[in-house]
Amino acid sequence: MTGTGAPTGTPAGIVVVTDRRQARRPLPEVIRGAVCGGARWVLLRERDLPHAERLALAERLRAILTPVGGTLLVAGPDPLDGDAVHLTAAGPYPPPTLRLVGRSCHDETELGRLSTEDYVTLSPVYATPSKPGYGPPLAPAGLARLVARTPVPVLALGGVGTAGQVAACLAAGAAGVAVMGAVMRADDPEALVRALCAATVPGPGRTPGATPAPAGVGGWVR
């Protein structure tokens, strides 16, 4: 839900999702590289951290994003002194009243529960060990079918790690793509994110209607 006087806009392009357990270097270093590569949206997970540690991490990541006009989304209903959260399909319902609220969805039933959310993730689009228990991957065709039934912008999530996969998700109607493991495990997060962001920009031979990110970033959340 968008509050008055707040910046507008929903996540698009590439959204980077954090997972410090997969990261090959300290998480702030990975995110700094992703931001240098063009990321402007980051979704902070790390829900197992004590509140004080997670809050401190959120502050460090905001310090990286704010100078470039980026936004930190926080998994769960607590925005950690921010104003943007991403909620699970399980709840809470109704969502909190904040500037920006997203929701994880996986099928039409979950999409039918949406009320004031500003955007959703749909997953898993491709096979990934990070999203077990949600049935077979949607694939681009299944993603397109659900996008057509979704009243808000969609981020494709799950198993995305190549420019070709990003382009396929955008061609299916997604406004952006959330990427976690590929960025966390990358030897060079900056180079990978730059390549993924480039795939969001329409050009010769690209599918018309793909929405370019404001040098965006990617990620997923359960």
In a domain, residue 221? The reply is no
Between 60 and 128, the higher pLDDT residue: 60
In a domain, residue 218? The reply is no
In a domain, residue 216? The reply is no
Structure tokens at 138: 């949607």
pLDDT digits over 31-71, tens only? 999 999 999 999 999 999 999 999 999 999 999 999 999 99
Give the number of domains in the chain: 1
- Quick one: pLDDT at residue 128? 85
- Quick one: pLDDT at residue 131? 58
Domain residue limits at 138? 13-198
In a domain, residue 1? The reply is no
Q: Number of C-alpha atoms within 13 angstroms, CB side, residue 135?
A: 8
What average pLDDT does the structure give for the chain?
Answer: 88
In a domain, residue 206? The reply is no
In a domain, residue 191? The reply is yes
Between 57 and 215, the higher pLDDT residue: 57
Which CATH number do you get for residue 43?
3.20.20.70
Between 129 and 157, the higher pLDDT residue: 157
- Quick one: pLDDT at residue 202? 77
In a domain, residue 169? The reply is yes
What are the strands, taking DSSP E only, across 69-190? 71-75, 84-87, 100-105, 119-122, 154-157, 176-179
- Phi (first) and psi of residue 60, to 5 degrees: -65, -40
pLDDT digits over 158-210, tens only? 999 999 999 999 999 999 999 999 999 999 999 999 999 999 997 654 443 33
In a domain, residue 6? The reply is no
Structure tokens at 169: 């998700």
